[in-house]
Amino acid sequence: MIELTVDELRTGQTLARSIYRPNGEMLLSLGYQLSSDVIHKLRETGQTRFWIQEPGLEHILPEEILPEFLLNQAADELRKNAEHFRKTAKVPESMDLNNFTAKQVLKDTLRFADSLYSSRLIKIARTLVKEFKRNKAPYILHFTTSRNQDNYVFQNAADCAVVAIALGRAFQFDEEELENLALGAMLMDMGTFLLPWKLVTNPDRISFAEFSAIKEHPILGFEILRNDHSIPLICAHIAYQHHERQDGGGFPRRLQGTNKPPVKQEINDKRLIHRFAEIVAVADAYIGLIQPRSAQTSKSPIDAIKFLLKASGTQLNAAIVDTLIPLIPLYSVGSRVQIIGASNEGLIGATAVVSKTNPERQDRPEITLIYDAQGNWIEHEIFNLEEIPQMAIQQTS
């Protein structure tokens, strides 16, 4: 199979993986043959990449850190909770945000009682942790879930939970800590559920008043979660602190960090960012780089690493960033690369697709040719770069 952009889809091609609606329901199943009308409708979904069956490329299989269906389930559960919460808490679809403050909204916190399907969220967090444990080190954070902009908020939260689990495992967190970390990551933006939903889902062009209202969401999330006694209190603190910075320049309380590994302390200094929130902040930054909203351009792995290193020590905890970087895949299965160096000069300029990654040597994956230097579809020859030191590649868009 091969991963194609929506612009590369052609009538008659066959899906190699199912496509899902924003609510997690299946839209088109594996094996579905595309028509021109269906391709047109796929453009309207906001999804940009699709796995297609292709003769000669049967050996290419997506590598997943967690099964796609599980991440879709997590996103769908978050969506259902958002809908239930907004209905239970009687959140209006529109409001005057010119003088919006968290204090106004929090006058009546009793309406937050039983506003979440807490047991279902806890179950999802436990399942994510349990499934992640199936990965054996060294593991790489491959994400292959189909992206849908209508479901972005929830997919983003589910992906952040996965990255947080990976980091927690790297720092030897126990199972209960991992579950709380995952749950807190999923609920970090809980406070946005009290804002107009259009603002939450489409915040690309916003006014100063709208931006100010969004900045209140850590306070709102903290109050919502600490009033739900089924949710561990640490999850409320993750929501409260995930926008704090190591240098004290974050919000809402301008807490500081120490840039030390997030190990348990006998005495917690309330002036410092909690270690769980530091992990979630790094996870949130990374996912925002590689899976941005529709109006933004996703960063390549190298560019994402550069950004994280630049933010390390001032915005983000340096020890956590250093731990994340080896988990970032330089190449994912399906990534397009161009051959820029080879003993056979006829291969230079050809386009290949990464068909298998190499966790031990991430810069030397297995690749499969798909286009020659002139852009013509060619015989799918396979090269294992670890065995061909003279071949050089660079990632393409």
- Same domain for 321 and 341, yes or no, is no
E-state strands within 214-341: 336-341
Among 286, 303, 327, where does a domain finish?
327
Count of the separate structural domains present in the chain: 3
Query: Is 63 domain-assigned?
Result: no
Domain match, 370 and 391 both:
yes
Whether residue 216 is contained in a domain is answered as: yes
CA-CA distance, 222 to 229, in Å (whole number)? 12
Is residue 59 in some structural domain?
Answer: no
93 shares a domain with 196: yes
Q: Is 176 among the domain residues?
A: yes
C-alpha–C-alpha distance, residues 165 and 152, integer Å: 20
pLDDT of residue 97: 87
Domain that holds residue 174: 68-327
Whether 26 is in a domain gets the answer yes
Among 375, 392, 299, 92, smallest CA distance to 213 is for 92
User: Any alpha helices (H) in 95-232, and if so which ranges?
Assistant: 102-105, 118-132, 152-170, 175-186, 197-201, 208-214, 217-226
176: Cβ contacts below 8 Å, ≥ 6 apart = none
* Continuous segment of H or E residues that includes residue 392: strand 392-395
Dmax over CA atoms of the chain, in Å, equals 72
* 207 is a domain residue: yes
Give residue for tokens 């002036």.
271
- SS3 label, residue 256: strand
Identify whether residues 88 and 216 lie together within a single domain: yes
Task: Identify the DSSP state of 272.
Answer: B
User: Is 296 inside any structural domain?
Assistant: yes
Q: Which of 301, 327, 353 is where one domain is finished?
A: 327
**Are 196 and 320 in the same domain?**
yes
DSSP character for 150?
Answer: G
User: Is there a single domain that holds both residue 288 and residue 367?
Assistant: no
Residue 92 CB contacts under 8 Å (≥ 6 apart), including other chains: 196
| One-letter identity of residue 360 | E
Residue 230 CB contacts under 8 Å (≥ 6 apart), including other chains: 116, 118, 119, 122
Q: Are residues 97 and 122 in the same domain?
A: yes
Distance of CA 317 to the CA centre of its chain: 19
Domain check: are 251 and 280 in the same one? yes
- Determine contact, residues 125/179, Cβ cutoff 8 Å: yes
Percentage above 90 pLDDT, the chain = 55
| 62 part of a folded domain | no
Name the domain boundary from 274, 293, 327: 327
What integer pLDDT is reported at residue 152 of this predicted model? 82
Residue 11: give its domain's CATH number: 3.90.105.10
Give the model's pLDDT for residue 43.
84
Residues 229 and 256 in one domain: yes
In this structure, what token pair is assigned to residue 362?
């991430």
Q: Are residues 171 and 265 in the same domain?
A: yes
Q: Which residues of the chain have pLDDT under 70?
A: 22-24, 137-138, 144-150, 203-204, 266-267, 294-295, 397
pTM for the model stands at: 0.88
pLDDT at position 199 is 84
pLDDT tens digits, 172-223: 999 999 999 999 999 999 999 999 888 887 766 788 998 899 999 999 999 9
Do residues 229 and 248 share a domain? Answer: yes
Q: What is the pLDDT of residue 166?
A: 95
| Three-state DSSP string of 158-185 | HHHHHHHHHHHHHCCCCHHHHHHHHHHH
> Any idea how long the chain is?
397
Please check whether residues 24 and 143 belong to one and the same domain: no
Encoded tokens for 40: 């047109």
